[in-house]
Amino acid sequence: MKRSTVRCAGLAGTLALALTVSGCAGSGSGSGKASITFWGWAPGYADAVKAFNRSHPDISVDYQSVQPGAKGGYQKMLNAVKAGNAPCLAQVGYETIPSFATQGALENVAEYASPDEDDYVDAAWKSVTLAGNVYGAPVDTGPMALFYNKKVFDSLGLEPPATWAEYRTAAKKIHASDPKRYISSPYMDYDYAGLAWQAGAKWFGTAHDSWQTTMDSAANKKVADYWQSLTDDGLVSGAPMYDQAWYTGLGNGDIATVVGAVWQAGTIKGGVKKASGDWAVAPMPQWKEGEKRVGNSGGSATAVLKGCDDPEAAWEFAHWMSTDKKAFGGLVDKAALYPAATGLLDLPQLKADPYFGGQNIYEVFADASPHVDPDWTWGPLMTKTSTDLNDGLGKAWVGKGSIAGALRTAQGKTRTEMKKQGLSVSD
């Protein structure tokens, strides 16, 4: 392989202030062996790198494990960019891409990446793209569906609800059968975002070189009021997700559903082993009968950090890891990742699972994946936004305030901080 020399070029259409364009990436060698460093934490990444190095003699990738992003990995990356000694590649969640872009921590690799756009589902590609700039290769996604306790549903003569109205009806019947039984449990930050995402209830957008904030829109109020009414009627469990009480409820049938992303399969299997055979998966309930709208929760990219000496080689590896069947099969086995690449939705690892009664639940997610609305933009300060939102949601789910109020408050605090940081914010 012969890599072209990288040139520094102006980038039109970049959001002023909000999206800082990275500096010139330097020159690739044009010939010889490229050396790329990659920071990440997902199980299986190290094995993928070894396989790449064996099959690509022109590029050497050095994988270095770091703490997960929220536990220090992201700050380590930003510090390295500021110090001028960052790796070429880093594992970055989709929700954090705009924040890194705002801080000028990413390289635009559209020159090399754009020809591969069709290899990825639309929503994933949109998640690594801002103002026409491409900042990395999508790795995995989190299309959502309805995990439901089939044993409980069958005992009550219930079918998986196809609409949110039917979901409410099921909630009432489940709770009436036993006062300790509930339809669902509180949703926080990115799990809640997936519910809004499905309904087209956007949180952020961009227009005329400014950020827009729409967490208090009519669409968001519709979603918030729906879940608020279920809470007010005592149909939602008080057990916080991922607490032991939540796992206990999933195991004994007291919490009958989880509206969640594909990776929740691993969470339920690992945390509720005694319920093997009780659970199944159905499509996400719809706001309008017959629709196929789907939300997303989770997913990450292999992002190219500012200062990468050979972004072309960096993209070649990043794209390979996301699209190579054998390599990604290992990521499914080791990290339960669900591919963002359209050509990998039928991997042999995505097969029928005895835990879910022999159902091939991945067929549900393969059908759902193309229907994730690609028109969703994460904000530039998602760490703060999610922290403030969780503070409000945590109170709302237990009757102290409202879900709609939590969204309004989080939006107000986010807007204040955006302006404080000099970002252009539309009124």
Query: Is residue 357 predicted with pLDDT exceeding 50?
Result: yes
Per the CB < 8 A criterion, the answer to whether 18 and 102 are in contact is yes
- H-helix or E-strand containing 213? strand 210-213
From CA 38, how far away is CA 49, in angstroms rounded?
9
- Average pLDDT of the residues of the chain: 92
What pLDDT digit, counting tens, does each position of 361-379 carry?
999 999 999 999 999 999 9
Place of tokens 């705009």: 98
> How many other CB atoms are found less than 10 A from the CB of residue 207?
9
Query: What confidence tier does 4 reach under pLDDT thresholds 50, 70, 90?
Result: very low
Q: Which of 5-14, 41-50, 330-339 has the lowest mean pLDDT?
A: 5-14
What pLDDT digit, counting tens, does each position of 150-193 carry?
999 999 999 999 999 999 999 999 999 999 999 999 999 999 99
What pLDDT digit, counting tens, does each position of 221-265 carry?
999 999 999 999 999 999 999 999 999 999 999 999 999 999 999
DSSP string, 298-355: --EEEEEBTT-S-HHHHHHHHHHHHH-HHHHHHHHHHH---B-BGGGTT-TTS---GG
CATH of domain 144-296+360-420: 3.40.190.10
Give the start-to-end residue ranges of the domains of the chain: 34-141+299-344, 144-296+360-420
Q: What is the dihedral of CA 258, 263, 267, 272, to 10 degrees?
A: 60
CATH of 34-141+299-344, one of 2.40.50.100, 3.40.50.720, 3.40.50.300, 3.40.190.10: 3.40.190.10
Query: What confidence tier does 329 reach under pLDDT thresholds 50, 70, 90?
Result: very high
Q: Supply the pTM of this predicted model.
A: 0.91
Identical fold at 34-141+299-344 and 144-296+360-420? yes
Pick from 27, 26, 23: which is nearest to 4 by CA? 27
Which residue intervals of 233-263 are DSSP H helices?
244-252
From CA 307, how far away is CA 310, in angstroms rounded?
9
Cα end-to-end distance, the chain, whole Å? 50
Which residue intervals of 95-211 are DSSP H helices?
97-102, 110-113, 122-127, 150-155, 164-177, 189-198
